[in-house]
Amino acid sequence: MPEASGPLAGAGSPRRREEERPFARRARSWLVWWALLMSLWVVLDYSLALAELLVGAGVAAVGAFLTELVADQAASHFRMRMRWLVPVLALPGRVARDTVIVFGALFRQLVQGAEPTGGFSAVTTAWGDESARGRTRRALLVAGTSMAPNTLVLGIDRERAVMVVHHLVPPGGVRQRQDARR
């Protein structure tokens, strides 16, 4: 097998397993995943017929088992605090607002030939530590911020405690730096 090369080859080390998780915690995690997946099944299937619910329960059980298996193999566990979900309430409004902004930029591009200015911004954030809870917080932060179509998280700069974000159309109509060379 050829040795890996490139700028990131060997840059990190494998994650060390935290203490072995007790069976009760793994069972509770499986149950939470099963409930989430079963809820998704009911919403998507839109049926409360017994046969449909039994199939959904089986599929959700297999999905929860595989999720736990992969999390155990990767030594990466989903640990979160419920208060982290509060910003999710503003997400539908941000997605709707950014969708209008992106379609406005598309309209201007098609009709007037005006390309969007694009830009980068640095959003101050607490990125957390290297624990399971810290990794979960960062994943939720990046996914939630990138959900809106005008915003894409490029990474988290831990030294400056900022999240580097790209906007197709900068917020507030202010032109921002377009490349890092300036």
Nearest by Cα to 132 from 84, 91, 79, 89: 79
Residue 163: Cβ-neighbour burial (10 angstroms; 0-12, 13-18, 19+): buried
Predicted local confidence at residue 17, as pLDDT: 57
pLDDT in tens, 5-51: 444 444 555 555 556 777 888 888 889 889 989 998 998 888 889 99
Predicted local confidence at residue 92, as pLDDT: 87
Predicted local confidence at residue 86, as pLDDT: 76
Collect the ranges in the chain with pLDDT lower than 50. Answer: 1-2, 4-10, 174-182
